[in-house]
Amino acid sequence: MKSILKIIKATFLGGILFLAPLVLLLVILEKGYHIIQKITLPIISHFPKVKILGLAIEEIIAIIIIFIICISAGLVARTTYAKRLIQRLENGILSFIPGYSFIKKTNENIMGFESNENLKGVLVPTDAGLQFAFLIEEINDNNFSVFVPAAPNPWSGSICFVEKKDIKEVGISQKEALACIRKLGFGSAALLKDKL
């Protein structure tokens, strides 16, 4: 009974962590849309009331302005100054949000963004046997910090400090390991064939 409640709790929390960025994005876009609409409404009020595909002209212009702002922000985000600013924000504030770094790297990987920090999937020993983990950081020549995700919710888990000799490299990507964890280990036969 406890294990079922644990799985339900982990799945529920995983759902919240998955939906939170999407809801936040929708709220930001909606707020931005209403702010821009207030700016464009006085200008557009002089135009005839025409609808294209069910949208009024002010709505279309507001959507175009949001699109232009997002493209501009994307271009600015590629500059060295913006990258340094984002790095400072992540190191100073966002790193204190539990799971932020892991979720960010995972989402970048899933969405296909290039990342120099793609987490490497490995196996580490636990009381129950070998378990999937992600190499986070090399502490020194002999010790690493790893994140050991829980199943079926890889957003929760634990941080462990493991000696190099205990890390079993299996040559699997973060995406492959996450998919296997979400499926409660189904597909591990093909994924780990000739690696154990």
pLDDT digits (tens, 9 = 90+) for 32-46: 777 777 777 776 666
Is the pLDDT confidence value at 74 over 70? Answer: yes
Determine the average pLDDT of the residues in 22-32. Answer: 76
Quote the CA–CA distance of 34 and 1 in Å, as a whole number: 48
Residues 4-21, mean pLDDT to the nearest whole number: 70
pTM over 0.75: no
Q: What's the CA gap between 136 and 84, in Å, rounded?
A: 21
Cα distance from N-terminal residue to C-terminal residue, the chain? 32
